[in-house]
C-alpha cells in the first residue's frame, strides 16, 4: 500500500495510466496547435480535439458544437453564470442557485449580486436535496437563470435534475448544472433533463488537472453567452486561448473510461464505500450526512461527536489522506470557517467541525478500506480518551442509566 492511503477523491483523483498514455503523443510527436490551419501538425491536433469534442458530447447526449473546452469547472461555472447574466440582462436580473453549491458558483453569484443582479439561494432539506417546488417558489418574472449542482462535493447528494429542469422549462428559465462530481458517475442527459448549460472537469474523473468543458445548448433554445476571455476567437469565440490539446485528449479518455466501467465500478467501489461507512457508523454517536437513497457511490460524510475533524485528520496524516470538506474552501486557509454545506443541512458549528469527508475511487482496494477503518476507529478512541467533554458526556450517560 502506498502511504498515506489516498481517500480524498472529491478533491482530485490520480490520473488513470490509460489517460496518460492517450495524452503523451500530443505532448511530443503530435504537439501541434489545433488552430494552425496550414500544416499537418495543426490538422492532427485539430483532429484529436474534434474527436474528443464528439465523444464528450455523446456522453451527455449533446452535439459536438455545443461543447466549449475550458481550464476546468471553475472556469466553466464562471463562463456559464457571468456569460448568461451579461447576455440576457435585458430579460431580467434574478438568479437562483442552491445553498450547497461549490464556491465557484457561490463566489460568482456574489460578484453578480454586486453588479446589479439579485440572487436567491434555494434551501435544501436535511439530506441536502434541492426540491423542485422550492426552486419554483423562488421564481419571479425577472428570473433568468437557475443553477443547481448535479451532485454535492461534500455530502454526495444527487439533485433531482430532471424535475428541476422541468420547472425551468415550464417557466422559460435557463438551467445550469455544475456536474463536476456527477459526470462519469451517474448518467447525464442534457436533453431529457432540460439542461441548458453543464460544467465538467477532468481531474475529478481520473483525468488531468486544468482542463474541463462547458456544454452550451445551441438549439431549443439557442443559449447566448458573453465570452469572459477574448483573444483569437477559439471555441467559436466563447473561449479564446490556444487549446490544451493533451488535456482535452485526456479529458475525453478519462470520460470514456469512466462511462465504459461505470457499471462495474459503481458496484465495486460502492461496496468498498459501504464497508468503510458501516465501520465508521459503528462508532458511538456517529451519524451519516447526505441523502442515503440518492448520493454518489464513492462518498462518505460522517459526523463523529466530540472528535474535531481537524485533530482526527492530523492524527491520521501518515496513514490516510482525508479531509473535513471542500478543498476549495480550505484553499483560502480560513480554518475557522465551517462548511456552508453542513450548515445548510442543519448541522450546528460544533457538529460541522466534527465531520469528515472521505472519497474512495478507482484505485481504492479492499485492503486499504480495512486498514483505514481500523486506523480511524483507533484514532477516534485515542482522541475521545483525551477529550474532557467526551468523558463528561459518558459520565452523564452512565448516571442516567437505571441500575
Ligand X SMILES: *Cc1c(COP(=O)(O)O)cnc(C)c1O
Residues binding ligand X (CB under 6 A):
72-74, 102, 104, 149, 153, 178, 180-181, 201, 204, 212
Q: Output 32 or 325, the one with its CB closest to ligand X.
A: 325
Closest separation between CB of residue 214 and ligand X, Å?
11
DSSP 277: H
Q: Which is nearer to ligand X, 78 or 364 (CB)?
A: 78
Q: How far is the CB of 364 from ligand X (least distance, A)?
A: 18
Active site residue 354: no
Rounded to 10 degrees, the C-alpha dihedral 339/341/347/353 comes to -20
Kindly report whether the peptide bond that precedes residue 114 is cis, defined as omega within 30 degrees of 0.
no
Q: Which three cell numbers stand for residue 147?
A: 443553477
Q: What's the rounded Cα separation, in Å, for the pair 365 and 210?
A: 27
d(CA 49, CA 67): 11
Cell of 248: 482535452
> 93 vs 147, which CB is nearer to ligand X?
147
Q: Which of 97, 168, 206, 328 is catalytic?
A: 328
**Nearer Cβ to ligand X, position 32 or 212?**
212
In the complex with ligand X, the residue whose CB is nearer, 93 or 157, is 157
DSSP state of 295: B
Q: Classify the C-alpha dihedral 359-310-379-345 as positive or negative.
A: negative
Rounded least distance, CB 26 to ligand X, Å: 20
Cα–Cα dist 240/336, whole Å: 38
Q: How far apart are CA 234 and CA 49, in angstroms?
A: 12
Grid cell at residue 325: 470538506
Nearer to ligand X, 151 or 257 (CB): 151
Least distance in angstroms from the C-beta of 322 to ligand X: 16
> If you write DSSP's letter for every residue of 6-66 in order, what string do you get?
E-BTTT--PPPHHHHHHHGGGTTTT---TT--SSHHHHHHHHHHHHHHHHHHHHTT--GGG
**What letter does residue 317 receive in the DSSP assignment?**
T
Q: How far is the CB of 253 from ligand X (least distance, A)?
A: 17
CA distance 69 to 294: 29
The residue number with the shortest CB distance to ligand X is: 72
For the annotated catalytic residues, the residue numbers are 328
Amino acid at each position: 500500500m502506498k502511504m498515506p492511503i489516498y481517500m480524498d477523491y472529491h478533491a482530485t483523483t490520480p490520473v488513470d495510466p490509460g489517460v496518460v498514455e492517450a495524452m503523451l503523443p500530443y505532448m511530443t510527436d503530435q504537439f501541434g496547435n489545433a488552430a494552425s490551419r496550414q500544416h499537418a501538425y495543426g490538422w492532427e491536433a485539430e483532429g484529436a480535439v474534434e474527436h474528443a469534442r464528439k465523444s464528450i458530447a455523446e456522453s451527455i447526449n449533446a452535439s459536438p458544437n455545443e461543447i466549449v473546452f475550458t481550464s476546468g469547472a471553475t472556469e466553466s461555472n464562471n463562463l456559464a453564470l457571468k456569460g448568461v447574466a451579461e447576455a440576457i440582462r435585458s430579460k431580467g436580473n434574478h438568479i437562483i442557485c442552491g445553498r450547497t453549491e461549490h464556491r465557484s458558483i457561490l463566489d460568482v453569484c456574489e460578484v453578480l449580486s454586486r453588479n446589479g443582479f439579485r440572487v436567491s439561494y434555494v434551501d435544501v432539506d436535511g439530506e441536502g436535496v434541492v426540491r423542485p417546488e422550492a426552486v419554483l417558489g423562488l421564481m419571479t418574472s425577472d428570473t433568468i437563470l437557475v443553477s443547481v449542482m448535479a451532485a454535492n462535493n461534500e455530502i454526495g447528494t444527487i439533485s433531482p435534475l430532471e424535475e428541476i429542469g422541468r420547472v425551468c422549462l415550464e417557466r422559460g428559465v435557463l438551467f445550469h448544472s455544475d456536474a463536476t462530481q456527477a459526470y462519469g458517475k451517474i448518467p447525464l442527459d442534457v436533453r431529457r433533463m432540460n439542461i441548458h448549460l453543464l460544467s465538467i472537469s477532468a481531474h475529478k474523473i481520473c483525468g488531468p488537472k486544468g482542463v474541463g468543458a462547458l456544454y452550451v445548448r445551441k438549439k431549443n433554445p439557442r443559449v447566448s453567452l458573453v465570452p469572459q476571455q477574448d483573444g483569437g476567437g477559439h471555441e467559436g469565440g466563447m473561449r479564446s486561448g490556444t487549446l490544451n490539446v493533451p488535456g482535452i485528449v485526456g479529458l475525453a479518455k478519462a470520460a470514456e473510461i469512466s462511462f465504459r466501467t461505470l457499471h462495474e465500478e459503481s458496484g465495486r467501489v460502492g461496496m468498498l464505500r459501504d464497508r468503510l461507512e458501516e465501520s465508521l457508523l459503528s462508532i458511538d454517536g456517529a451519524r451519516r450526512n447526505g441523502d442515503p437513497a440518492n448520493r454518489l457511490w464513492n462518498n462518505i460524510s460522517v459526523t463523529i461527536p466530540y472528535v474535531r475533524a481537524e485533530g482526527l485528520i492530523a492524527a491520521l496524516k501518515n496513514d490516510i489522506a482525508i479531509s473535513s470538506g471542500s478543498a476549495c474552501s480550505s484553499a483560502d486557509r480560513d480554518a475557522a470557517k465551517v462548511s456552508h454545506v453542513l450548515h445548510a443541512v442543519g448541522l450546528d458549528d460544533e457538529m460541522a467541525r466534527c465531520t469528515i469527508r472521505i472519497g474512495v475511487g478507482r484505485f481504492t482496494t479492499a485492503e486499504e478500506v480495512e486498514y483505514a477503518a481500523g486506523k480511524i476507529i483507533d484514532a477516534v478512541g485515542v482522541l475521545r480518551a483525551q477529550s474532557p467533554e467526551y468523558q463528561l458526556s459518558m459520565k452523564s450517560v452512565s448516571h442516567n442509566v437505571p441500575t
